[in-house]
Structure 1
Amino acid sequence: MLNKEDEKLLALLQRDARASISDLARALQLSRTTVQNRLQKLQDNGIIKGFTVELGESYLSNLVSAHVSIKVKQKLTARTNVELRQMPQIAALYAISGEYDLIAIVQAQTTEQLSHLLDDIGNLEGVERTTSSVILETKFHR
């Protein structure tokens, strides 16, 4: 269970995961050693899984994004999921019901890169077929 200081530490890290231990200690009015110990405890307990980069809107707005519906051979589903996870251009992968088994949210810097990515996905051994929808405009995002 988290105490108030842990919750405050998490909130500070969510705002800026690159904040120094000294800055965190100052903001929490705790010693550097205490903050380091709390941070290590949060990591050891699986509360903090890692530190990531949040991409800026100016970069994200220039990416070409698409939803890719993927039909997978059932016997190769696990293998296909592993291969898809290794493609850094796939931002998310969802298992779905219906005619297709998966939907991948993909992002590329150009339409040419997107085309190559779609070919790479379609050529995976477990993939039977794909259908892609390029996102033209975001109406809203929550």
Structure 2
Amino acid sequence: MNKLDSDLLKLLIRDGRMSYADMARQLDISRAHARDRVQQLVESGVVEQFTAVINPASLGKVISTFVDLKVAPYALERMAQELAACPEVINLYIMSDLRSLHIHTLTDSQEAFDGFARQYLLGREEIIAVNCTNLLSRVKHGEGGAKL
């Protein structure tokens, strides 16, 4: 990747719908060159997808909870797949100790999160420990913002 690719990525992160003509004007290159470079970034896997960044609160999803689970190693993959399929789960990571899941959920109320926890987390023998914390305020977003 060169400086042009980095500059194109910065523009796409800011506005994934930016036209090739606007990219070309800002970077002082031709529209065709901008299009070709973006296409190469897509084909090489640097750009995985173009997506919208949604404000969860505008959809009523005001409870952002982070859940750390310790899971029996034999159940880690199965548990990860099951939880990943839940609409409340927006991000899920298997951690390096190979027995922990880090999960980010979005719900419209504390009661909705409670229902999710009761249905999927509590009373399961493969779950060794649960730690939940609610987001108070967001200080810094990753580039491109939160994905929903």
How far does residue 38 in structure 1 lie from its aligned partner after superposition? 0.7
CA–CA separation in structure 2 for the residues paired with 1:88 and 1:26: 40
Residues 110-125 of structure 1 mapped to structure 2, 5 A cutoff:
110-122=109-121
Contact 2:92 2:101 in 1 (8 A): yes
CA–CA separation in structure 1 for the residues paired with 2:59 and 2:126: 28
How far does residue 16 in structure 1 lie from its aligned partner after superposition? 0.8
Corresponding position: 1:141 with 2:131: no
Assess, with a 3 A threshold, how the Cα gap between structure 1 residues 74 and 126 changes in structure 2: closer, same or farther. farther
Unaligned runs of 5+ in 1: none
Unaligned runs of 5+ in 2: 141-148
CA–CA separation in structure 1 for the residues paired with 2:78 and 2:57: 35
Contact 1:70 1:127 in 2 (8 A): no
CA–CA separation in structure 2 for the residues paired with 1:5 and 1:69: 39
Contact 2:83 2:89 in 1 (8 A): yes
Assess, with a 3 A threshold, how the Cα gap between structure 1 residues 102 and 136 changes in structure 2: closer, same or farther. closer
Question: What's the RMSD between the two structures over aligned residues?
Answer: 3.2
Extract structure 1 runs of 4+ deviating beyond 6 A: none
Q: Which residue of 1 aligns with 2:143?
A: none
Moved more, 2-11 or 54-63: 54-63
Q: How many residues align?
A: 138
Superimposed CA distance per residue, residues 2-52 of structure 1 (whole angstroms, 9 cap, x where no aligned partner): 233222211111111111222222222333222221111011112112223
Contact 2:90 2:104 in 1 (8 A): yes
State the percentage of identical aligned residues.
27
Q: Which residue of 2 aligns with 1:29?
A: 28
